[in-house]
Amino acid sequence: MDTSIRVGVLGAGTMGTGIAQVAAANGHQVIIYDNQSKALKNSRDHLNYILNRQIEKKRMTQDEVIAIQECITHSANIEELDRSGLIIEAVVEQLDTKKALLTKIEAIVPDDAIIATNTSSLSIAALSSAFKKPGRFLGTHFFNPAPLMELVEIVPGLPTSPDTVNLIRKLINGWGKTTVTAKDTPGFIVNRVARPFYGEALRILEEGIANESTIDYAMKKMGGFRMGPFELMDLIGNDVNYAVTESVFEAFYYDPRFRPSFIQKRMVEAGYLGRKTGRGFYNYDDNSLNIQPAHDEELLETIFYRILSMLINEAADAVFMKVATAEDVDLAMTKGVNYPKGLLRWGEEIGLSSILGVLDDLQDLYGEDRYHPNPLLKQLVDSNGSFFSTSDQRGI
């Protein structure tokens, strides 16, 4: 790992500060740039708090913390990033704002510097249009909190050079992260494949099949998920989760697989955003108001297989549409959102014919394209094949 590379981070928010911490912990000199003095102060304070907590928990020594702190500089002067070999942009998710900043930074840094964006939802191709030399630009999607989450999605744009991809993967892997490569499509891997975890749970709730706590209990008890979909939406924030769903739905030209839920929309409109407001799908101010889950084994199994089959179908579609390899899809879902197993191997473990049967039953019942089985899944069932065999592998 070449620690001589200077790293510039654009944006002093939680994500930018976290990425800076990761780079500094691996020996790089880092400058965090932001044009807001308050954001810079908050970044310094947050970083010091986090690092001091590591000392209290005996995860770091005082000397290790001091070494990280000495590697990080905060600045409101973008010109100070002129010697950076790597720039990672982590500002607000607005296309025009990002493009303006990326255009500015390209004129400042050396010609051989790599420039990356941490966007989770915007088109890399659209951002590439800001550059005179777009071959050195790509997406590096870290997950929050960046120092703890292992996954980074590497997203080349159409003009991105292979050398840029290879260099950034080597560097970020050297930081102890796990990188996967994704095509520049809406949601990349994780935010695309994970949509049914929320969407199908909301659909089950809308139909009155089960309440929130029962659906959550089914996914934890039957599948070993750490959190159920409603617990996770409350943790993420219903406003944030709904916005991502709406964005993916629009980006996929209103594909019914990604249709947002009216229930969640009403929650957002009512200000029931989850843990941060004390009320979401659960009441965090008065736990006695929360309904207990049903313990009907048949119901729990039905809920679990319905949601899991939809997840596996979406993972199959990501491979079929060459968004990523089967290995990278499974790696992304276990490392990026802590799923208990890779979805594609999980499907093969259960039996792809069983997964196809669940989807066929749902499509027969509802007659909606939402439940249409992916062609690759159907092909593998017909041929008794595997997502991971050479002949069936359809990734990038």
Encode pLDDT of 261-305 as tens digits.
Answer: 999 999 999 999 999 999 999 999 999 999 999 999 999 999 999
In the predicted structure, residue 396 carries a pLDDT above the cut 70: no
Domain 7-181 sits in CATH at 3.40.50.720
> Which tens digits make up the pLDDT trace of 92-123?
999 999 999 999 999 999 999 999 999 998 99
- Integer Cα distance of 89 and 82 in angstroms: 15
Mean pLDDT of the chain: 95
Question: pLDDT exceeding 70 applies to what percent of the chain?
Answer: 98
In the predicted structure, residue 176 carries a pLDDT above the cut 60: yes
In the predicted structure, residue 391 carries a pLDDT above the cut 60: no
> Can you give the pLDDT at residue 19?
98
> Can you give the pLDDT at residue 1?
60
DSSP annotation of 373: P
> Which tens digits make up the pLDDT trace of 49-69?
999 999 999 999 999 999 999
CATH architecture assignment, domain 190-396: Orthogonal Bundle (1.10)
> Can you give the pLDDT at residue 389?
86
> Which tens digits make up the pLDDT trace of 355-388?
999 999 999 999 999 999 999 999 999 999 999 9
Residue 23, CA distances (Å) to 30, 138, 177, 283, 378 in order:
7, 18, 11, 39, 44
In the predicted structure, residue 83 carries a pLDDT above the cut 90: yes
Q: What is the mean pLDDT of residues 139-151?
A: 95
* Nearest CA-CA partner of 142 in 108, 167, 176: 176
Compute the half-sphere exposure of residue 278: CA atoms within 13 Å on the CB side of its CA.
2
* Nearest CA-CA partner of 203 in 229, 235, 240: 229
Residue 357, CA distances (Å) to 1, 200, 342 in order:
48, 17, 20
Which residues are identified as catalytic? 120, 141, 153, 191
In the predicted structure, residue 185 carries a pLDDT above the cut 60: yes
Residue ranges of the domains in the chain? 7-181, 190-396
> Can you give the pLDDT at residue 390?
53
In the predicted structure, residue 327 carries a pLDDT above the cut 90: yes
- For the residues of 98-148, what is the DSSP string, one character each? HHHHHHHHHTTS-TT-EEEE--SSS-HHHHHTT-SSGGGEEEEEE-SSTTT
Name the burial class of residue 235, with classes exposed (0-12), middle (13-18) and buried (19+) by CB atoms within 10 angstroms of its CB: middle
